[in-house]
Structure 1
Amino acid sequence: MTVPQGRRSSTFTRLLRHGFITPSTAERLLDTPELAAVRSDPVLLDALGATADPDLALLGLVRLIEAQPDDERQTLINTLVTAKPLRDRLLGVLGASEALADHLARHPTDWQALVTYEAVDLHPGVADFERGLADADDAVALRVSYRRCLLSIAARDVCGTTDLIETAAELADLATATLRAALALASAAAPEDAAACRLAVIAMGKCGGHELNYVSDVDVIFVGEPVDGVDEGKAVQAATRLASHMMRICSETTVEGTIWPVDANLRPEGRNGPLVRTLSSHLAYYQRWAKTWEFQALLKARPVAGDQELGRAYVDTLSPLVWQVSERDNFVSDAQKMRRRVVAGIPVGEVDRELKLGPGGLRDVEFAVQLLQLVHGRTDTALRSPTTLTALADLADGGYVGRADAFQLDEAYRFLRSMEHRIQLYKLRRTHLVPDDEAGLRRLGRSLGMRSEPIADLGREWKRHASAVRRLHEKLFYRPLLDAVAQLAPGEAGLSADAARERLVALGYADPAGALRHLEALTAGVSRKAAIQRTLLPVLLGWFADSADPDAGLLNFRKVSDALGKTPWYLRLLRDEGAAAENLARVLSAGRLAPDLLMRAPEAVALLGDPRGLEPRPGRQLEQEILAAVSRASGAEQAVTAARGVRRRELFRTTAADIIGSYGTEESPAEQDHGALIDRVGSAVSDLTAATLGGTLRAVVREGWGDTLPTRFAVIGMGRFGGHELSYGSDADVLFVHEPREGVSEEEAARAANSVVSEMRRLLQLPSADPPLLVDADLRPEGRSGPLVRSLPSYAAYYRRWSLTWEAQALLRAEPVAGDADLAARFIELIDPLRYPPEGVGEEAVRDIRRLKARMESERMPRGQDPTLHTKLGRGGLSDIEWTVQLLQLRHGWAEPGLRTTRTRQALAAACAARLIGGEEAAILDEAWILAARVRNAVMLVRGRAGDTFPADGRELAAVGRYLGYDPGHLGDMLDDYRRTTRRARAVVEEMFYGAAL
């Protein structure tokens, strides 16, 4: 039929005004014979325009009318015209869900499920849904009946007859009824199994919490027991077959699609554990092996199908364990780390669209509420609801959460869950991603009542609620601790002192009373300083709790704040530069070394707020700054004090960058190249040591001889110093060399050189709270028996006549670090033939090196030390790897230029490139060297003093583990990983160093 142009234009305009995106298509659909009786009815057009997607609703309506049996079509059309409730329900569903429109097209009489609009129909329960599923005698029929019930839930939801909480509860009740129906089908298929056991189905997750989504995995746990006269093993096998069949009935795809996956992975041992356990087996697992998150999951456990008595016994038996979990060490930090891992696992391109798992998403609300429940529900039984919003309201009623915060979080959670429901309802697919297409965003916004500018309004509201969730997620747990130490207004709810201490213990604070005193001191009063501290501390407390020593973090923060609190820039920096506050929290709670350095130079906090402030400074810049400070000093001791000040600040810069790089942040998890990180630390500490020695040398010369020393003088770095591999606690191995100036006698020059060395060592050993800088010259000719300093000709004579193999090996790490550059270069020229001998060292020399190494292994290992955990001398440790690399250098350095380096990792890479060692073997040695070096640095960072093995103290060991990336509950894994890595390295050493491979 041809539509007159005037009518077409009028209809076209009306359709646009009612929200149709493709009015030309809508016109054609309205002109189909199926809609002839209603197309001129303005009420229908208004009803279509009120839906989330009028185009989708109209298309679904046409398909539904077309699919009607001839004798039912007129009934549907008449009902559409006369029954507004039905019209609104049906069109509302068709405009919101393409999947349910498909269902109605396949089952055209199911629209009649929407006819009834009585009070009893508004809030059906499990029994009502069971009646709706009663006729389903196989898996296909169950799917059809399930969708019919779902149709009614969706209709009440999109029309606003039920709110979010009621809809989620109805979905959980429908899931319960469906599980029961599926279990009945499985039992009917295997009556002998059903007769041999008692099987209870425990709902977990959102189903257990009575807050299910439209499309979600239904998490369950199965409990089985034998009936009288049946062997337990056979009963469990029968129960397992029933449970497996029940899961397949729900999860498998048929001609009618699927219902939802039944997921049993929350059971003990996850997918690796048995599907069904007895109650006693469950109890034994949770008492001995369960992790924190598994108890957190049990918060929502609810018996839903099967043997109800057994199900109730399961919940009653395990519930006491749930409310004891907050007493575990690292309870909160375990939960927080799990949350960070969830965020880190989201694909980068999806983070900004993730409603559930992303920052500011639904999981943030659920985690915060569950943590508060587990901490305070131990003593307050009113807090044990498995439903998120009910629990949140209970927390507010009990004073554990401020009422304004609870209201805002409730509002945000409802909005985000409503978004999630509408997204899933469209195609009935399990997703938590916000659409990224205009049509999808428009439909979603309109489904939530946003009609004028649905896309813009949706984005604005989503951003507002997500921001509120992110802020409150931190605030809910930590801010009430400040309220506990503040003077609250009469009648205002707040944590009691006991509740505050309880929460601090759960956070990992060993001295909660001390922590409360620190909080009171930091936040007391009405000053601007106290106000800013009250803003900062809720977040800082969370970062401290994420460390191995929260008490130390809070105490150190108080000390720094006492030192800098009146400095205008300090608190402003922490308040305005988000990274600065987190960086400071990480540094202050990571051990003793960095905080001790900061306490002596608190102004170095400013480095934490500068994006480039933690980058190591080039050695030349350090040397120039120290030399300038020395030149301004009035004497040698004052000059060295000034040089130490620079060293202190730069050590803090290096330690802070190391800690922050190893810890990472919630937004940017640590994914560091550990080799690059350890190289950066080694270079930075070595450059700083060289600059400090250079400044000390300048100070000594200036005070004793003015501008010119009677002899040229140079300092040669040896060992790790020469290799640019100093750790925080390493001594500086050096050689001193001099050369008399023209006209100066050998005796006078020697006296001057010895005086310089003695005075340098004296000044560097003056008492100081800074980490010591010990200069060790024991690698000089004749060792401790030889003179501290020699002239260049003396070195030449000694090396020509007396040099031993170990001295040539030691010279592999020789590199100029301070003093006369020309003299140092000639020293290097002198020793090159010794350390890179033509044709390489001979077999006798190789045997000498191997014998010396073997003797060192047997004699130098400290008594009582575990050789598998000693980073320097232990199996596969630094010494093993370095000696192997050095033997390669001694044998092949003359022919391979890449081997002529003082740096271990560079030499190893060059040996691999020259095919002197296999790629896999080189990688094994490199990994072990990096790990051992990181452990040494970690020990110094944590304890404030050097050590070559893992600490025995539990808290210190946990801090080392945190630096290395291990959660507190996995310190055994850390030691096992270290042993495994170094064991593999030792096997390579056995072959390459002691075997014939070289």
Structure 2
Amino acid sequence: MAPDRASSLTQLARLGFSRFDDAETHLAELSELVGIARETLLAEASRAADPDEALAGLVRVARRRAQAVRDVLQDERGREVVWRLLGASRGFADFYLRRPEQLAALPGAGRRLPTTEELRRALGAAVGADEDGFAASGDEASWIDLRVAYRAQLAEIAVYDLMHPDPVEIVHAVSAALADAAGAALDASLAIARTKVTNSGGFGGFPRDEVLRTRLAIIGMGKSGARELNYVSDVDVIFVGEPAAGTELSEARAIEIATRLAIQTMRGIDGIEAEPALWEVDPNLRPEGKQGALVRTLESHIAYYDRWAKSWEFQALLKARPLAGDPTLGEAYVAATQPKVWSSSQREDFVDSVQRMRERVMEHIPAEDVPHQVKLGPGGIRDIEFAVQLLQLVHGRSDEDVRHRGTLNAIDALEAGGYIGREEAAVFARDYRTLRLIEHRLQLVGLSRTHLMPRTEDGLRRLARATGLAESADGVEEVWEDIKREVREIHVRLFYRPLLSAVARLPQDEGSLTEEQARDRLAAIGFREPAVALRHIGAVTSGLSRKATIQRHLIPVMLRMFAEGADPDYGLVAFRRISERLGETPWFLRMLRDSSGAAERLTRLLSASRYAGELMEWIPESVAWLDNDEQLRPRSGPSLEEEARAIQTRHDTIEDAMRAVRALRRREMLRTAMGAVLGVTTLEQLSDALTTITEVTLRATLRAVRREVVPEDDASLDFAIIGMGRFGGAELGFGSDADVLYVYRTEAVEPHRAETLALKIVAELRRVSEDFRLPLELDADLRPEGRKGPIVRSLDAYAEYYRRWSVSWEAQALLRARGVAGSVKLIDAFMQLADDVRYPEQPDAQAVREIKRIKARVETERLPQRIDPTRHLKLGPGGLSDVEWLVQLLQLQHARTVPGLRTTSTLAALDAAVEAGLVIAEDAALLRAAWLLAARLRSANTLLSGQTSDVLPTDRRLLDGIGRILEYPPHSATQLEQDWLGTARRARRVFDRLFYG
């Protein structure tokens, strides 16, 4: 290749050309046609998005009118404008090919955007419109003049857009100018229509004075109404017609004339003529759509909206604006419809209907277009617009500040009002501008209506250069994919926000009540102390901070959610305290506002459970768990054990270590409580979780105590904690004590010294495990001799005692003995000892009789006085004690020969008894049901009240609260009570027959 040829191709490549042979040929031809040197022609070529297309367009126009091209290219700014405009738009090249004389305006074009008034004057002048709104002529030539003048103004806007250093920033202004140009075009076309439909227009139509007395308003909808129009887009309109006030023109005659005017106005814009149509005028958003009358009176419109309109029609009216025609009638239309727009969210299933409409839009996109749809696809323009409009319609009912037609203005208002977060608003606004810029550049290419991303590398490269968003095809595609992901994530979070439906259902006057009315409203929905509730509401909503603003939006909805719970007054108090503890923490209110159910869960939790609420006040960060079921599920034993062991390595003193251990226990107990109240955790998981937390706590406490109490010289001392009762059976509920035995071994330590150290360990265990916020009761009353016996014994002492003095109840107590902390070898040795006592070779008949006697005595002596025995969940008939004593009796009698009975679990032993034929399945089912229900009621009672109680309350409100925790429907106090009494009664009959029979 010759050096000059190589140099030329290198230059072309550097300037952005890709079709080198065509470019060389076109440059030579253009230079010859216009008499301008090649280097001068190429001086601004690098500014073109597609230099090849720009050059080809210039050559085509120059072949027809070389002088017009020469004039613009001889001007330095004219050259830059031409390269930018034709490089971005083959459609404008086609326009100048048809109308080369219009090139003369380009050197001075685009220095600023034309104003609304300038656009109306320019297009009105093009058709010779007079003061009465009639054009000079009603023939087709006037329409052609209008379209040429419109495209000349469109070029002014496009040049400004393409030459601006930050096109993303000016998208809003460009879109507004495009909408104003559309309005001006409609006004000019209406002027032609007026002339055309008069007798003087040769149409055989109406007298001029009748046309003059006919008022026709053209209402802009959608993007034209919001002043967010594209370069080429359908212009959605609604026509409103009426006779002028004070005239004798009948309404019917006025509608007839207005309808003819509307038809001719549309034809002037989108009819087939020598100059192509501008865009389609779409009147199908009118009442009844295509089947409805094209023009209606204002009164007829209002009657339709009052009686038959669907929710989507009010959403469409959100952007309604007088666009052309009679401005007074247009303003009257908007004034009459806007109150209906802002009350529409109270319609039944309004939010759901808007959500379904967005989904239907996406369902109708051809599958092959979905990944490329800038407007309608997931992560596209519609995702932003639908989310913003839904938020406006729901909150705009009570907050006039968010009532904006434009999307960007609405985003700013929603952010200022606290309805969406600052970060979300910033991302939405930035991405919306960017998507609209992409849409604009795509439509400029052919001056055609399109919303599809290019599917070729050349097309993507052209888009990258036209937008300035990237330097390559891959770069602009990456920007597009990032935007789609960001937009879709925020759209889903906002558009399907659970609080929206709740806000939409609020009474319209909820935010404007007097203090007395507010107290009455609170009392009516279930608050027992409305005056106190009002003070708490004032505390969380007063002030000018963003937090207070968001709280003002949340509180009306949350109050109704609180009112659906058992104790709304406490729920509100707890919410206030948690809010104050979290201060200005940004994630808290953002999560309540935006998450998929955190607000509903929080209100349900706080109004249902004082136990959880009081712990949440101390651990407010736990609110974050509400957004994720995994955070509400109990953590595994190994993970807790690992954390507990790490505590010992991080803290040098026992006090520091125990503070961390207590914090660990509180946190995990709260997690379990939250999961239980919200139905994430089952009863079986609950018992396992509470047992695991207690075991981990005791092991960590024992390690800390040993390190403090036992000198290195005595480190060989074996010490262990044996779980007893429900702890040993891994059957803990909320409020259960931890029954334990303490044991040590003296083999490597002098006996007296070992006993002294063991007593110190126990004393320190009991001291440091105390937690005034969440008590952990280490109950050693099941030790030999009960409270009278030594609190800790050596293994040998236990063996000697059980061999010589053990009584039946002590053997029975050992049935649920299980090692939980300390020396593994010592635990194994103790369990071997326990097995010999609890699983005797031959059951002692006297011991069996003694157990039955003790059980009868317990029922008469240990039941609290003035308590209905049938309501005692533990000691009452059919309660926990009945099932457990019966199972333990079977274990004492048969465990030596039935291995399945050698378990500390009540229900596992009951299953083994059924398998061994000791209990029939039907009886076992009744016993199991009673035991499970009693355990659930006991835990639910503690969760509700925050206090431990074995008695089913008689208060209907408390019963209802317990029922809600157990997932009964609201107001199920009687059903819950009947379920327990019936279940316990049936279990008691089985117990009496099997235990005493």
TM-score w.r.t. length of structure 2: 0.51
1:831 is matched with 834
1:407 is matched with 344
1:212 Cα deviation (Å)? 13
- Whole-angstrom distance in 2 between the partners of 1:974 and 1:852: 31
- Whole-angstrom distance in 1 between the partners of 2:574 and 2:623: 12
Pair 411,778 (structure 1): closer, same or farther in 2 beyond 3 Å: closer
2:764 is matched with 759
Q: Is the 8 A contact 2:499 2:557 kept in 1?
A: no
1:509 Cα deviation (Å)? 1.1
1:716 is matched with 722
Equivalent in 579, 602, 607 of residue 584 of structure 1: 602
Q: Is the 8 A contact 1:405 1:472 kept in 2?
A: no
How does 1:260-279 map onto structure 2 within 5 Å? none
Residue aligned with 1:790, SS: strand
Q: Is the 8 A contact 2:345 2:504 kept in 1?
A: no
- Whole-angstrom distance in 1 between the partners of 2:584 and 2:670: 22
Indicate whether 1:691 and 2:686 are aligned. Answer: no
2:977 is matched with 975
Pair 895,518 (structure 1): closer, same or farther in 2 beyond 3 Å: same
Residue aligned with 1:832, SS: helix
Q: Is the 8 A contact 2:690 2:732 kept in 1?
A: yes
Pair 461,929 (structure 1): closer, same or farther in 2 beyond 3 Å: farther
2:502 is matched with 474
How does 1:102-251 map onto structure 2 within 5 Å? none
1:230-251 CA-partner distances (Å, limit 9, x unpaired): xxxxxxxxxxxxxxxxxxxxxx
How does 1:539-558 map onto structure 2 within 5 Å? 539-558=557-576
1:149-204 CA-partner distances (Å, limit 9, x unpaired): xxxxxxx99966999xx9xxxxxxxxxxxxxxxxxxxxxxxxxxxxxxxxxxxxxx
Equivalent in 652, 660, 667 of residue 649 of structure 1: 667
Pair 212,704 (structure 1): closer, same or farther in 2 beyond 3 Å: same
Q: Is the 8 A contact 2:344 2:350 kept in 1?
A: no
2:913 is matched with 911
Give the aligned residue type for 2:726.
R
1:627 Cα deviation (Å)? 3.4
- Whole-angstrom distance in 1 between the partners of 2:658 and 2:348: 62
1:409 Cα deviation (Å)? 4.1
- Whole-angstrom distance in 2 between the partners of 1:572 and 1:846: 63
Equivalent in 895, 898, 915 of residue 896 of structure 1: 898
1:598 is matched with 616
1:802 Cα deviation (Å)? 1.7
Q: Which runs of 5+ in 1 are unaligned?
A: 1-118, 120-155, 167-209, 214-354, 362-395, 421-433, 443-451, 484-493, 663-675
1:951 is matched with 953
Q: Is the 8 A contact 1:482 1:519 kept in 2?
A: no
1:398-451 CA-partner distances (Å, limit 9, x unpaired): xxx98654234459769979x99xxxxxxxxxxxxx999x99x99xxxxxxxxx
- Whole-angstrom distance in 2 between the partners of 1:790 and 1:610: 47
1:880 Cα deviation (Å)? 0.3
Equivalent in 770, 774, 779 of residue 777 of structure 2: 774
Equivalent in 965, 968, 992 of residue 963 of structure 1: 965
Give the aligned residue type for 1:733.
D
Indicate whether 1:574 and 2:592 are aligned. Answer: yes
Q: Is the 8 A contact 2:526 2:563 kept in 1?
A: yes
1:534 Cα deviation (Å)? 3.2
- Whole-angstrom distance in 2 between the partners of 1:212 and 1:987: 64
Residue aligned with 1:733, SS: strand
2:687 is matched with 682
Give the aligned residue type for 2:880.
L
Indicate whether 1:561 and 2:582 are aligned. Answer: no
Indicate whether 1:728 and 2:745 are aligned. Answer: no
Single out whichever of 467-476 and 515-524 deviates more from structure 2. 467-476
Pair 763,462 (structure 1): closer, same or farther in 2 beyond 3 Å: closer
How does 1:594-633 map onto structure 2 within 5 Å? 594-633=612-651
1:911-951 CA-partner distances (Å, limit 9, x unpaired): 22333222221111111111111111112112211101123
- Whole-angstrom distance in 1 between the partners of 2:763 and 2:791: 9
1:807 is matched with 810
- Whole-angstrom distance in 2 between the partners of 1:836 and 1:159: 88
1:968 Cα deviation (Å)? 4.8
Q: Is the 8 A contact 1:686 1:724 kept in 2?
A: yes
2:888 is matched with 886
2:676 is matched with 658
Residue aligned with 1:969, SS: coil
Single out whichever of 797-806 and 818-827 deviates more from structure 2. 797-806
- Whole-angstrom distance in 1 between the partners of 2:308 and 2:851: 70
Residue aligned with 1:734, SS: strand
How does 1:166-565 map onto structure 2 within 5 Å? 404-410=341-347, 473-478=501-506, 483=511, 494-565=512-583
Indicate whether 1:848 and 2:850 are aligned. Answer: yes
Give the aligned residue type for 1:513.
A
TM-score w.r.t. length of structure 1: 0.51
Residue aligned with 2:972, SS: helix
1:336-380 CA-partner distances (Å, limit 9, x unpaired): xxxxxxxxxxxxxxxxxxx9xxxx99xxxxxxxxxxxxxxxxxxx
Q: Is the 8 A contact 2:709 2:760 kept in 1?
A: no
Aligned length: 566
Pair 830,520 (structure 1): closer, same or farther in 2 beyond 3 Å: same
Give the aligned residue type for 1:762.
R
RMSD: 4.3
Q: Is the 8 A contact 1:878 1:933 kept in 2?
A: yes
1:232 is matched with none
Residue aligned with 1:578, SS: coil
Q: Is the 8 A contact 1:416 1:462 kept in 2?
A: no
Give the aligned residue type for 1:815.
R
Give the aligned residue type for 2:580.
D
Give the aligned residue type for 1:406.
S
1:934 is matched with 936
Equivalent in 694, 698, 706 of residue 701 of structure 1: 706
- Whole-angstrom distance in 2 between the partners of 1:862 and 1:535: 49
- Whole-angstrom distance in 2 between the partners of 1:622 and 1:697: 15
Pair 881,405 (structure 1): closer, same or farther in 2 beyond 3 Å: farther
1:246 is matched with none
Q: Is the 8 A contact 1:594 1:652 kept in 2?
A: yes
1:631 Cα deviation (Å)? 4.1
1:809 Cα deviation (Å)? 1.1
Q: Is the 8 A contact 1:478 1:541 kept in 2?
A: no
Equivalent in 926, 942, 947 of residue 924 of structure 1: 926
- Whole-angstrom distance in 2 between the partners of 1:937 and 1:411: 39
Equivalent in 819, 823, 836 of residue 820 of structure 1: 823
Q: Is the 8 A contact 2:957 2:973 kept in 1?
A: no
1:565 Cα deviation (Å)? 2.4
Pair 886,465 (structure 1): closer, same or farther in 2 beyond 3 Å: farther
1:615 Cα deviation (Å)? 1.4
Q: Which runs of 5+ in 2 are unaligned?
A: 1-250, 252-287, 300-305, 313-334, 367-375, 395-497
1:694 Cα deviation (Å)? 1.6
- Whole-angstrom distance in 1 between the partners of 2:929 and 2:528: 35
Pair 212,761 (structure 1): closer, same or farther in 2 beyond 3 Å: same
Pair 989,460 (structure 1): closer, same or farther in 2 beyond 3 Å: farther
- Whole-angstrom distance in 2 between the partners of 1:859 and 1:481: 59
Pair 410,737 (structure 1): closer, same or farther in 2 beyond 3 Å: closer
2:862 is matched with 860
- Whole-angstrom distance in 2 between the partners of 1:582 and 1:827: 50
Residue aligned with 2:918, SS: coil
1:677 Cα deviation (Å)? 1.6
Pair 940,481 (structure 1): closer, same or farther in 2 beyond 3 Å: farther
- Whole-angstrom distance in 1 between the partners of 2:616 and 2:291: 61
